[in-house]
Amino acid sequence: MVEVRQVASANKAIFAKVNISRGTRIAAETPLITIPPTKSIEEELWEVCNVVEKMTNNESKELEQLPCSSNVADTIRKRGFVENRVWFFYKSRKLKNNDGSVLRGKKMRRIVNKAINLCIIYLVNNVQLGPDGKYGSGVFPLYSQINHSCVPNAYNSWNPTLERLTIHAIHDIKAGEQIFVDYVGNTCRTRKQRAVSLNTTWDITCNCKACTDDALDKLRYRMLVLDQALAAYECGASEEAHLEGIPKLKTTNQALNAAEELVSLLKRQRLCGMELCRT
């Protein structure tokens, strides 16, 4: 149904090979690696090292080929936490040479450097499995090559029964069109909020219509307000905890009206992902 193509910016992208109608499952991909649920970044990196240590050469080559901006990789490297964690992991392993002596020096450095690189690629490409990473996280080679749009035409979710990441068309896609998903994870965000998260994590400057049209950005702001008001209503947030500029929904009817307005804003922009379902 889809194919990988090289695009002008030397990046790869995924395109529809045939007409795909709304609701079609475009792909159901098995993970290259999975990490169990963890409570901190330290724990997560430890688990990644565990997986990296057991990977075959072919698997690590496949992981190395996944997209990772050199700017983002350099920033992560400079912060030092990945390097610290990987050294800590390998020191605890007490790896040995063939003659039984403890591995150190250049050989050890080479193993650690390779693991640091793979950990960074994991950090850039991993997908949470289930809501809030209930089933952990994973890396998926096909999914990693799908580009971002704030007005996506596809939606990904982890299917715990199939143990695959499924990608569905959220509207009709014509043969030859590029497939896009939303990396940000919530479409009810303003252009500025999306730009920060896209830039820091993936070094992306998005030029989709929602990022270039001021009128659309105003709609996103209204969506953000409604989304936060509904979230506060749902968890029964107290008066003090209430965010400035966000209306407090006091009655069921007010909440229903806000939800209906959000539904219509989402539909108007053809944003038929998880936010529409949840709203």
Contact residues for Zn ion (CB under 5 A)?
150, 206, 208, 210-211
Instruction: Tell the burial category of 67 from Cβ atoms under 10 Å away from its Cβ (0-12, 13-18, 19+).
Output: middle
Phi-psi region of 72 (alpha: psi -120 to 50; beta: other; left: phi over 0): alpha
Q: Supply the minimum distance, in Å, between the C-beta of residue 202 and Zn ion.
A: 12
Q: Which is nearer to Zn ion, 211 or 262 (CB)?
A: 211
Q: Supply the minimum distance, in Å, between the C-beta of residue 270 and Zn ion.
A: 14
Q: Which is nearer to Zn ion, 206 or 272 (CB)?
A: 206
- CA triple 129-172-10, angle to 5 deg: 65
Place of tokens 């490297």: 77
Q: Supply the minimum distance, in Å, between the C-beta of residue 181 and Zn ion.
A: 12
Q: Supply the minimum distance, in Å, between the C-beta of residue 143 and Zn ion.
A: 19
Q: Supply the minimum distance, in Å, between the C-beta of residue 161 and Zn ion.
A: 32
Q: Which is nearer to Zn ion, 85 or 220 (CB)?
A: 220
Q: Which of 19, 15, 8 is nearest to 177 (CA)?
A: 15
- C-alpha distance from residue 75 to each of 10, 62, 142 (Å): 22, 23, 25
Q: Which is nearer to Zn ion, 33 or 210 (CB)?
A: 210
Q: What element of type H or E holds 85?
A: helix 81-93
Q: Which is nearer to Zn ion, 208 or 223 (CB)?
A: 208
